[in-house]
Structures are given as C-alpha cells and as structure tokens.
Chain A
C-alpha cells in the first residue's frame, strides 16, 4: 500500500510544547522553512481551532510571524492546547502543545484498610479544590517506620481513582509510614505521612447469608440472621454488627444495634430485641437480631455490616465493612374488617409503649421469680393477645 515519505517540515514553532502557569503570557514564533515560498503575511495562528486575532501578531522577519498570548487559562484538555501555525489557505504548517496549569497540591485524607491482615488498600483526595489542568501522577509510598527502604505501590485505582492496593509483603506488629506524592509538569507535592499498624485498620467483607424472616404471625417484627465473615474466623477477634433497614418506598435508613458481649471468633447465639427509634452502635457479636415496632404488611429492606475489633489485642476499633446487599422481607398483615384502618406510625409507637407497660405488669403478676425473663414470654403474650381477639385499643384490660 502506498504511503507518503515525509517532506521537510514546512515550518517550526518556538517554543515547542512549553509548560506554563495559569495566568502566564507567551510569545510564540512560527518560522517558515526556506524550502517553502511563504512569507509572514501569508500565515495565521489558531489556538484549539479558534483563530487568534491579527492584532496579536507581529512579523519578526520575512518568514517569521509571532503571536502574543496573555493571561493564559488552564489547558482545555490534558493533552495540551493546540497552538497551530497555518498558511493562508488553512493548511497546517506546524503546531505546538501548550500545557497551562497549576502545580499539584499535597494529597490529603489518606485512609487505609486491610481486608485480610496481609494486604493494604489506601485512598486519598487530590488536595486541589479546582483542578490542576495538567495530567497529575500520584504515587503511594510506604516503609516500616524505623527501618526499611521506601517502597512504591504498584496497583492503582483498585478502590476509586485515587487509590492503590499493596497485595503482599506487609508485616504485622510494626508501624508503617505511608504517604502520597503528586507530580505534574509544574512540580511535586508530598502529603503528610500517615502512620499505622496493619492490625489497627482491619476490615472484613460484609456479613454473608443475611436472612430476614417473619416472626410467626407477629405483624410488627422481623427476624434477621447472618453469618460472620469467614475470613477472620481463625483469628481471635471481637466483632460487632450494625443493622440498617428501611421501608420499601423510603430512602431513609434506620440504624439499629445492641451493645455489649464479646466472644471468641465473633460467633454468638441468642437474640436481641431492639426497640424502634433507638439508635445503638452495634448489636455486639450476636449473629441474629429481631426488629420490632415495624409496620404491618410492609416490605422492609435490611442490611448488616461488621466491625472486627481488638484483633490480636489491638486497642483500636476496626473499620466497618461495607453493608451487605439488601435483603427484603415483609411483615404480615392480619385480616382486617372492611372499613377498618391501621394506626399511623406515631400512634403505633405510643400503643407499643403502652403495651409494654402492660406486658411488664402482666409479667410481674404471672411470671414471678423469672430471672430469665426473655423475649419468648413476650411472644407468647402477643400470640395470646391476638388470639383473645382484643384490639389494640382494648389492651388496657387485663386478662
């Protein structure tokens, strides 16, 4: 196939591919090769395809035309602004790429986490409110605090644009220094150094096998069960969990938790009974929980997350995992008489509180000596209440 051999360059632009600060001014010249019968008055300039005004030109010689550019804005594209010298008929004689921008600011907000105590992922923010207008390279570096050489992270963009993953060769029980260097054509900036021990920044995958199910016929409750993340089951650790849920047509998540309790391996049995609108940070290490005070006949989405803390005796809290994928379930709704209506949310809470007061009163009367008062008795009472065909408004009467 035919191709064309290059002729001599028809013209040369100076400076070639300069780098400039925003606000700089520049005088560029286009000099036509002696082999080409073109004069300065036969030339014109464009910048990014837009013709520059002739008032900014000056003929410096018979075949040299200059252009003055004042107060340059940041480059329109990171590949550089195209300053082009044309012949009168529009032909391209020569071009120069202008890189106009700002030096980088030091990266900020470095945060790191380890999924399995063998790797480390870090992310950061670029530290510039506006952009630099130039391609800026980020390099994450790390070293053991008191000895060791600088190492450079290789796997970038694993958790977003400004992130890097160190897959191996990390030691435990020793602090690391971590920092990020930003560099572009106009300079270099180095972040503050972050110090951390891998054990202090451990997180896990979200809890798996999240199941949400009804609690018998109870209209205002759902049972949530999950499995602790398997990756850490071989390590001595404490795990706390958090649950959030929302109704199907709402974007507002309610967070639920229950404090206390630790166990080896993060496993636990037993249940927690959570009151509505009571925000507690965690549900301990238990892997099941019951949500109460819910709306009957309503679809709920539920998510669970885990925080492994006190791994190998570390005193710091771990890092919350991502939320598990939402799991949906609906509360049952009993048959209603035609024309009946359900209490609104606020009324339901008032009613539930009243119910609970009456429940405890009933317990004192009917379950004395019960040091092991638990949810089972409450469930039995609820079932008894419904079977006795009493409405919520009639719960004041004792059986």
Chain B
C-alpha cells in the first residue's frame, strides 16, 4: 500500500489540478472556435463523418472510472504530446498552401498549439510531483532503423485530418478536465490525498 501523501504535496497537487482544469477549459473553448473557423476555410461540413486518422489520439476510453491516477496522467501526456506534433504539422501545411493569406486562422492555430504545449508541461509537473519519471517523447531515442515517415497526404486528406485532429482535441479537453477533477479528489478512506498508484 502506498504511503499517505504529505500535506504539502497534497496541497501542491490540488493547486496543479485546479490550474490544469482552468487551462483545459480555456483550451476547449478556443479549440471549438478554431474548429468553426477551420471548417469554413476548408469548405467542409462540420458534421462530416471522418474516419479516425493515424496518429490522432482518441479521447474515447472504456472503463474510464477504473483508471488509476498515474494512468490518467500518462495517457493525457501522451495525447497532448501527439497533438502538439499534429498541430505543428497543420500549421506548416497551412503556411505552405496559403502563405499568410489567412493569418487569422494561422494565428488561432498557433495559439492553440501554445496552449497544448503548456498543458503538456503542466501534466509533466504533476507527474514529477508524484516522483514519477517523465516518459521520453517518441523520436527522442536514436534508432538505427526507425519507422519510415508516413506517406504525405493529399490536400483533401490533409483537410480531413485537420478536422479529425481538432475534433479529438476538443474531446480530450473535456476528458482532461474530468481526469484532473478525479486526481484532485481527496481519498475518502483516510481523508488524505491518495497516491496516484491507488485505484481512483
């Protein structure tokens, strides 16, 4: 059984969780606005069914309530790191295709990318608090025979992928708020904050 958390660590965790919840809430609002602008600029139907695209982390999860705190943090961190790379790619493609023609959308994309980066860092802080090692990012390790780069998508496929990225990011922001609220809850058994390894 994990040792009970010190009061200062518990306070720090609750503080980080509160701030994380606010970050995620703001992020979701901005992503929703960005999604509206994106579908208009790309001429897409906002309700179009888009098949899941490789590399876009899905927010949907079964037995979410059974996850431990560590699992929540690790899954969130992996997701936002993936979104960081996907948004950076979207931004580059946007600039290649349209230059600075739609500076508004480019700026909005860049702003969301910044929020995603900040949220990922916030999650790393939470993991450090629990003396958990921060998992390395994919691509950090040198490999002699790394996986081949994915084939370049067609322009239409890029549009659909962007739609998928933003939709899932909006869903993840909702899930992250719930995850952090779970993490911030004190343990009902001891009255002290539970360790992350314990069941939620």
Interface residues of A (CB under 8 A from B): 1-6, 16-17, 48-49, 76-82, 84, 90-92, 94-97, 135, 137, 156-157
Contacts and interface: CB of A to CB of B under 8 A. Distances in A.
A16 B42 contact: no
B43 A3 contact: no
B154 interface: yes
A6 B49 contact: no
B58 interface: yes
Contact of A95 (B41, B52, B57, B157): B157
B49 A17 contact: no
B101 A135 contact: yes
A78 B57 contact: no
Nearest to A90: B49
Nearest to A12: B154
A311 B99 CA distance: 39
Interface string B15-41: 000000000000000000000000011
What 9 A-B pairs have minimum CB-CB distances, sorted nearest first? A95-B156, A1-B57, A4-B52, A97-B155, A77-B43, A1-B79, A6-B54, A49-B45, A17-B155
B160 A95 contact: yes
B11 interface: no
A76 B159 CA distance: 15
B97 interface: yes
Nearest to A49: B45
Interface of B: 40-45, 48-61, 75, 78-79, 82, 97-103, 154-157, 159-160
Contact of B98 (A5, A78, A97, A157): A78
A4 B58 contact: yes
A79 B55 CA distance: 23
A96 B154 contact: yes
Contact of A137 (B61, B99, B159): B99
Nearest to A157: B100
Contact of B56 (A3, A16, A79, A84): A3
A94 B153 CA distance: 12
Given A49-B44, A77-B40, A91-B49, 20 more contacts: A1-B58, A1-B75, A3-B52, A3-B57, A3-B82, A4-B51, A49-B43, A80-B43, A80-B155, A82-B156, A92-B48, A92-B50, A92-B51, A95-B154, A95-B157, A95-B160, A96-B156, A97-B154, A97-B159, A135-B98
Nearest to A16: B154
A4 B155 contact: no
Contacts of A48: 43
Contacts of A1: 57-59, 61, 75, 78-79, 82
A233 B96 CA distance: 45
Contacts of B155: 17, 79-80, 97
B53 A4 contact: yes
22 contacts: A1-B59, A1-B61, A2-B57, A2-B58, A3-B58, A4-B58, A76-B43, A77-B41, A78-B98, A79-B97, A80-B43, A82-B44, A84-B156, A92-B49, A92-B160, A95-B154, A95-B156, A95-B159, A97-B156, A135-B97, A135-B98, A137-B99
A4 B159 CA distance: 18
Nearest to A99: B155
Contacts of B59: 1
Contact of B54 (A3, A92, A95): A3
A2 B52 CA distance: 10
B100 A5 contact: no
Contacts of A49: 43-45, 48
